[in-house]
Structure formats: C-alpha cells, structure tokens
Chains A and B, each alone.
Chain A
Amino acid sequence: MNEDFLKCRDCVDLLLDYIDGNLPEEMEEQLDEHFEACPPCKNFLNSYKTSTEMMHKLDRRNVQVPNELQGRLKAFLRDNI
C-alpha cells in the first residue's frame, strides 16, 4: 500500500459517511482502494455494515412484557380518558 494513502485509522473514522455514500468521490475511491488492499480493514468494514444491517432487522415487537400489563393499562386509560 502506498504510504501517502489513507491509514486504517482514517478509514475506520470515515466508515459512517462511507456506507451512507456521503464522501466526495475521490475520497470514496481512496477508501475502496484501501479496503481492497487491506484484509483487516475489509473485515472490519463488513462486520460494521453487518451489525448496522442487523439493527435495521431487530424486531422487538414480540418482547416479553410484565405480567398483568394490559390489565393495568386498561385501568389507567379508563380513569384518565
């Protein structure tokens, strides 16, 4: 890798803008080149993206709720509406 190019530290700091496509084209190309040449950074980038995508898929709609929650909510709404 050319010494004048980005270091891993720079690439990690720019990941958010990189995956959002918000970097200037030239900068994005430099990161692309770095990732191609640097397996640890490539793995880091992929795992950063994967964890972000997992959060998009996180569904807590079936989360466990306290016992008798619905009964207490009904009573509260009856008294307050």
Chain B
Amino acid sequence: MESDELLAGLKQRDAEAVDQLILQYSRPLFGVILNYTKNPSDTEEVLQDTLLKIVRKIDTFRAESDIWPWMKRIAINNAIMWLRKHRSKREHETQLEDGYPQYTKDGMIQYPVFGWSVDPEEVALNSELSDQLHDAIQSLPYGYRVPLVLRDVEGYSIKQISSLLTLKEATTKTRIHRARLFVREKLSNYLNGAS
C-alpha cells in the first residue's frame, strides 16, 4: 500500500489501512518506545495507545510531510507520559557518578585512557556492538536515560528536551553529560575487552 493510500485509508478508519499501519510501523515504533520504557510488555502497552492516537489524530497530519517523524513524535510523547506515571521518584532522583576518569589530586587524568579504533558507522553493521550500546543506555537510571536518548538517539535540542521533561537547561545538560560518560565507560570496557 502506498503512503497516500495508507493515509486516505486511515482517515476513513478503513480496517485494511489499520492493518497496514500495524504491519509497516509497529516494529519501528516498538524500537523507539523500548528506549524509554525498557521492557517489552510496557512497550506494548505504550505502543497500543500510540497507534490508537495515530489513527485518531490522522486528520491533523499534514499530508505533504513525511509521516514517520510525526508518528515517532507521538510515540516519544506517549512514552514520556507513561514514564511520568509509572517511574518511582527514587529512580528519578538516582545520582549517577560512574563514568568519570580517575584523576590525580591536582585534577589531571591518571593513565591509561585507551584510544578507540572503532568507526561510529560500525554500530549500524555490528549487532554485538549495537547490543552493547543499547544495553549501556538501558542500564542508565530513567532520569539520565531519557534526556540522553532524546538528545543523542533522536537528535532533540537541549531546549526541546528541557521543555518536554520540565527540567532547567543546566540540569538537562548535566544529565546528558553524565549519561554519556557512563555509556562511554561501558563501551570502553567492551572495546578494550575488560567486560
């Protein structure tokens, strides 16, 4: 089914178009939501609601633009709303200290810091590396994982993230930075064979 046909069918609430929406987009949307919710059953719950919203809001979609970013935005907003309801305050406030290098007393890095010889493009081709990266992101506490995913996976700006998560921009930046340090260290352990 062409995207024009899909769009027209969804506007008519046509059963075949709804089935096509599920066939074509349920897996990629599942992947997007899983970055926030972490487990498959919660992801499925958010995905159900996301697909329902997509169908119900289809009349507001501007047909001249690409439908995937629009659907993805609905999925992300839904996942964040779900997290607000379900994440504990304790998880939200967990502090993340891992990932900083070892410093000497006067603030200089202690050796060794290994260089990486990996090309970032490799993550799309190497499923083991991709799984390691995904696991590192998933092991972050919610308060760090969500800003990081929004910034580095989805490409949102610091301003957009701060507004979406109702955080001060400085807090958003600190959380993203600490989350990156944590992910860098996990990947470093993997790439240097320490884990």
A binds B: yes
Q: A: which residues have CB within 8 A of B?
A: 7-10, 12-13, 15-17, 38-41, 43-44, 46-48, 50-63, 65-66, 69-70, 72-74, 76-78, 80-81
Would A77 and B134 count as touching, CB distance under 8 A? no
B interface residue count range (under 10 / 10 to 19 / 20 to 34 / 35 or more): 35 or more
Cα–Cα distance between A58 and B129 once the two chains are bound (Å) = 10
Check A51/B183 contact, CB under 8 A, given A8-B101, A44-B101, A74-B19: yes
Q: B: which residues have CB within 8 A of A?
A: 13, 15, 18-19, 22-23, 26-28, 30-32, 34-35, 40-41, 44, 47-48, 51-52, 55-56, 100-101, 103, 106-116, 118, 120-121, 123-124, 129-130, 133-134, 137, 148-149, 152-153, 155, 173, 176-177, 180-181, 183-184, 187-188
Residue in contact with A58 in the complex, picked from B48, B123, B176, B180, CB distance below 8 Å:
B123
Chain B hits for A48, CB < 8 A: 180-181, 184
Would A50 and B116 count as touching, CB distance under 8 A? yes
User: How far is the CB of A15 from the nearest CB of chain B, in Å?
Assistant: 7
Residue in contact with B184 in the complex, picked from A41, A47, A63, A69, CB distance below 8 Å:
A47
Would A69 and B30 count as touching, CB distance under 8 A? yes
Q: Chain B interface secondary structure, helix, strand, loop or mixed?
A: helix
Cα–Cα distance between A17 and B23 once the two chains are bound (Å) = 41
Q: Chain A interface secondary structure, helix, strand, loop or mixed?
A: helix
Residue in contact with A55 in the complex, picked from B15, B41, B48, B183, CB distance below 8 Å:
B183
Chain A hits for B15, CB < 8 A: 78
